[in-house]
């Protein structure tokens, strides 16, 4: 088995950041929903909104990174 190249490691690391953004956004959204509404329904709604925002951020970050890498060869 061969070692991963630096580009392959960066691609794997970028993929993980999307899931980190989703889970982080969901956690913050749940906390905000609890604080604002003091209900489980508010926590669920806040978590869903936070997860969606985290997913959008993660996908945008990954796409921006891929475009930057495509146009700015090191």
Distance CA 22, CA 50 (A): 8
Highest mean pLDDT among 28-32, 57-61, 66-70: 28-32
Q: What percent of the chain has pLDDT over 70?
A: 82
- Count: domains in the chain: 1
Handedness of CA 13, 14, 15, 20 (dihedral sign): positive
Domain housing 48: 20-69
Distances (CA, A) of 30 to 4, 21, 39, 67: 37, 14, 10, 32
- Does residue 39 lie within any of the structural domains? yes
Residue 5 lies in a domain: no
> If you average pLDDT over residues 50-61, what whole number do you get?
89
| Residue 55 maps to a domain | yes
pTM: 0.68
In-domain check, residue 57: yes
pLDDT at 59: 87
- Give the integer Cα–Cα distance in Å for 40 and 6: 44
Estimate to the nearest angstrom the gap between the alpha carbon of 33 and the chain centroid. 19
């Amino acid at each position: 088995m061969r070692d991963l190249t630096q580009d392959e490691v960066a691609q794997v690391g970028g993929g993980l950041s999307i899931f980190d953004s989703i889970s982080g956004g969901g956690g913050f959204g749940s906390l905000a929903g609890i604080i604002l509404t003091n209900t489980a329904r508010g926590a669920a709604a806040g978590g869903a909104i936070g997860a969606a925002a985290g997913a959008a951020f993660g996908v945008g970050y990954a796409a921006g990174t891929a475009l930057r890498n495509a146009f700015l060869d090191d």
